[in-house]
Amino acid sequence: MSTTTRSEAVRQYLEKYDRETLVGAGLIVPAVLLIVLALVYPFLSALFISFTDYAAGEIVGLSHYEWLFGTDTFWSALKRSLLWTVGNLALQGIAGIGIALLLHRHFFGRDAVRTVMLIPFVIPSAVTAVMWRWLLNTTYGPLNQWLVQLGLLSQPVNPLADPSLALLTVTLINTWRWAPLVALVVFAVLQTIPNEEYEAARIEGAGMLNEFYHVTYPHLQSSMTVLGLLGFLLTFNIFDIIWLLTNGGPVGRTTTLPVFIYEIAFNTQRIGRGTAISVVLFLLLVVFVALYFQQEEFKEGGEFA
């Protein structure tokens, strides 16, 4: 090959490389700009506001963070948020898997049950809150009346107004809303498991528990891990259903971090303090996600990166 031919080939290769680079950059840059506009800019704005007295327009430095880490209310809200999140994930996982296993069995009307099952998930939060407040009302709530008539209660009780039961009650209501989605995902995975694996397990003499542990669970593990991650992030940030049901009460027993942010930022008009709590909440979730992916890398590679 002559020098001229080689030079021409190199030139064509570089032109092709440049075109591919430009095309790739053209596809990536809009997405990067969108991420910057949707995430980075709002975070930097919030970070700046957290260092100011928003109403007075003055820079106050770290005073909001000093107040935040020095108040017991923040630590109580953080512990309550963790309890709320873990409780929801546990109950939704158990209920979702249980419902999916039932739906995996063939019975008359299974398709209708599967459709009706999703109704709690599609009902708006406001409607859900109104419905459950009505059901649990001590004066005209039908649920209380039925329980009294059955002799299970001596008198009507509103668990949303009971400090010892409020958080558990809201957790159960939220589980009622979200468990159908978990069940739908698990059911879809169950449909992909070959029947031969179950037949082989039965031939080996496996009971229902062993069958679930050795056949079903390995297929569910990756899906449940992803659901757990997304569920943690979504549940930790839930505000609407808690506020609509209890307003963070009674006596602060359902005040999670999102509710605490709303109370400080809007009820007391301390925008700077509320934003500081939001920044801390965001950073906590970022750390959680980073630890999650670090753990996944450890599982795949056998050592931390």
Mean pLDDT value across residues 16-31: 69
Same domain, 71 and 45: no
Q: Looking at the structure, do residues 32 and 79 belong to the same domain, yes or no?
A: no
Kindly state whether residue 60 falls inside one of the protein's structural domains. Answer: no
Question: What does pTM read for this prediction?
Answer: 0.85
**Neighbouring C-beta atoms of residue 299, cutoff 10 Å:** 9
Domain coverage including residue 39: 3-49
The predicted structure's pLDDT at residue 89: 96
Q: What is the pLDDT of residues 34-47, one digit of tens each?
A: 877 888 888 899 99
Radius of gyration of the chain (CA): 27
Those residues whose C-beta lies under 8 Å from the C-beta of residue 244, and which sit 6 or more positions away, are 125, 126, 128, 129, 130
CA angle in degrees (0–180, nearest 5) for 134-140-143: 65
User: Would the pLDDT of 294 be above 90?
Assistant: no
Which residue would you say has higher pLDDT here, 104 or 24? 104
The pLDDT of 149-155, averaged and rounded, is 88
Q: Which residue has the tokens 């303090």?
A: 273
User: What's the pLDDT score for residue 305?
Assistant: 43
Sign of the torsion angle spanned by Cα atoms 284, 295, 211, 230:
positive
Enter the tokens of residue 154: 């001596």
Q: What is the pLDDT of residues 173-213, one digit of tens each?
A: 999 999 999 999 999 999 988 888 888 888 877 778 888 88
Does residue 59 belong to any structural domain of this protein?
A: no
- pLDDT at position 185, please? 92
Tell me the one-letter amino acid at 21: T
d(CA 91, CA 59): 45
45 domain residue, yes or no? yes
Q: Looking at the structure, do residues 92 and 18 belong to the same domain, yes or no? A: no
Q: What is the pLDDT of residue 71?
A: 94
pLDDT at 299: 72
Are residues 258 and 113 part of one domain?
A: yes
The share of the chain scoring above pLDDT 90, in percent, equals 54
User: 64, 50 in Cβ contact below 8 A?
Assistant: yes
Question: How many other CB atoms are found less than 10 A from the CB of residue 223?
Answer: 14
Show Cβ contacts of residue 245 under 8 Å, excluding neighbours closer than 6 positions.
Answer: 129, 132, 133, 160, 169, 170, 173, 254
Determine the pLDDT at residue 79: 97
pLDDT of residue 19: 65
Angle between helices 72-104 and 110-117 (to 10 degrees): 170
Q: Helix-strand-coil percent breakdown of the chain, rounded to 5? A: 75, 0, 20
pLDDT (tens digit, 9 = 90+) per residue, 91-146? 999 999 999 999 888 888 888 888 888 899 999 999 999 999 999 999 888 998 89
Q: CA 156, CA 139: separation in Å to the nearest integer?
A: 8
Q: How far apart are CA 138 and CA 147, in angstroms?
A: 11
Q: 133 and 24 share a domain?
A: no
